[in-house]
A and B are shown apart, each in its own frame.
Chain A
Amino acid sequence: MERETQVIARGLRRRDPEILDRLIERYHYRLFRYLLCLSGNRETAEDLFQETWLRVLERGTQYDGKSKFEAWLFTVARHLVIDLQRRRQFRFLDLLDAESDAQPPTIVQDQPSALERVAQRETSEWVGAAMAGLPASYREVLVLRFQEDMALEEIAEVVSAPLPTVKSRLYRALEAMRQLLAGGQA
C-alpha cells in the first residue's frame, strides 16, 4: 500500500486541488498555532498562514514524500517568517537565528507577571502571554517539541540546526518558560 506521504507528494506535484483542500483541513490548526507562536501576532500569523499554503501549492514539487508532511510544511512556513524578517526590520519577531541562543531571556521579577497581566483570562492566553516573553527561537522549539510532539531530529530538520543546538535551545527554552510561568503564579 502506498504511503500517505507519497500520495501527498504526488498530489502536490499535480497541484491537485482536492489534496490541497484536505491538507488545509487537516493541518490548518497546527500551522496557525506554529505561526502564531513564531510571530506572536495574530494578524501576521493570518497573513503568513495564507502565504504558506500558496507556497505549498507553488513549491509542492519539492516535497519528496520521504519525510513527514508537517515537517516540510513547517519548514516552508519558517522560511516565509525569515523572509518577512529580512524584508523588514520586523517589530513582532526577534531573530530566529542562532544569535538569540547566546542571550537567554532575562526574567524580570519586578515586572507584572504573566498571570497578573492576563488575570481572569483563559489558560492558553496566559501561556501565550508568557511565551511572548521568550525569543522566537525558543518559542519555536517549544511548540515543535511539546505541542507538535516532533522528534528532536525532525525539529533539527525544520529549524535547519544541528541536533545539539536544538537540544540546548530546548533546555534553555523550557527553563525560561518555567521561570516565566512560575513568576506568573507567584
Chain B
Amino acid sequence: MKDESHERAQKLLVAARVESLRAAEQAWLDSHLAACGDCRTYAESLERTLAALHSFHAPVNPALVDATRRRVQLRALELRRQEAGLRTLWVSCALSWLLGVASAPLLWWAFQWAGQRLDIPRVVWITAFGFWWLTPAVAVGAALAWQGTSTWQENAEAGSIFRLRRGVPPCERNAGKD
C-alpha cells in the first residue's frame, strides 16, 4: 500500500476526532482500516489518547473554593456600597444642577437689584452672580472627581489577588526555586 494512503488515513483519523468527515472520506477510511493493520494500530492509539484526555482529573482544594467564595462575596458587597455612594452623589449633582437652573432668573434679579441698590458696577455684580451660580457645580464636580479617583485606587488594589494574597506574583514567588 502506498505511503500517501497511510498518511491520508492518519490525517482523516485525527480529523474525524476533531470534526465530522464527509461520507466519501469515511467510506474510504473504513475500507483502508479494514486492510491496514498499521493504521488500525494508529487509530487505537488515538482512541487511547482521547480516553486519557477524558480521564484527566484536576482536584480543586475545597479551601480554595471557600476562600474564593468569601472573597467574591466581600468584594460584591464593597462594589455595591461604592455604587450606592456614587449613585447618591450623581443624584445630588443632578438636583443641584436643576435647582441652579430653576433659581437662575431669580438669582439674577436679586444680584441686579443689589448691584443697583448698592451702586456696584455691572461687571462686578455679574461676576459675583457667576461665581455664586457656579460654586455648587464646581463643588459637586470636585467631589465626584475625588470619589472616582479613590474608587479607582481601591478597585485597582482589590483587583489583584497577587498583591492582596501573598504580596507578590507567583512568578516572583517561585523565582529562584529552580
Report if B87 contacts A (CB, 8 A). no
Q: Is the CB of B50 within 8 A of A58?
A: no
| A167-B170 CB under 8 A given contacts A28-B60, A124-B56 | no
List residues of chain B with CB within 8 A of the CB of A20: 72-73, 76
Report if B31 contacts A (CB, 8 A). no
Choose one: B45, B53, B169, B178; the contact of A146 (CB below 8 Å): B53
Q: Is the CB of A170 within 8 A of B18?
A: yes
Report if A110 contacts B (CB, 8 A). no
Q: Tell me the interface secondary structure of chain A in the complex.
A: helix
Q: Is the CB of A43 within 8 A of B174?
A: yes
Q: Is the CB of A46 within 8 A of B174?
A: no
Chain B residue with the shortest CB-CB distance to A21: B69
Q: Is the CB of B174 within 8 A of A181?
A: no
Q: Is the CB of A46 within 8 A of B171?
A: no
List residues of chain B with CB within 8 A of the CB of A146: 50, 53-54
Q: Is the CB of A174 within 8 A of B46?
A: yes
Q: Is the CB of B159 within 8 A of A167?
A: no
Least Cβ–Cβ distance between A88 and chain B, in angstroms: 4
B interface residues, Cβ below 8 angstroms from A: 11, 14-15, 17-19, 45-46, 48-50, 52-58, 60-61, 64-65, 67-69, 71-73, 75-77, 79-80, 155, 158-162, 165, 169-174, 178
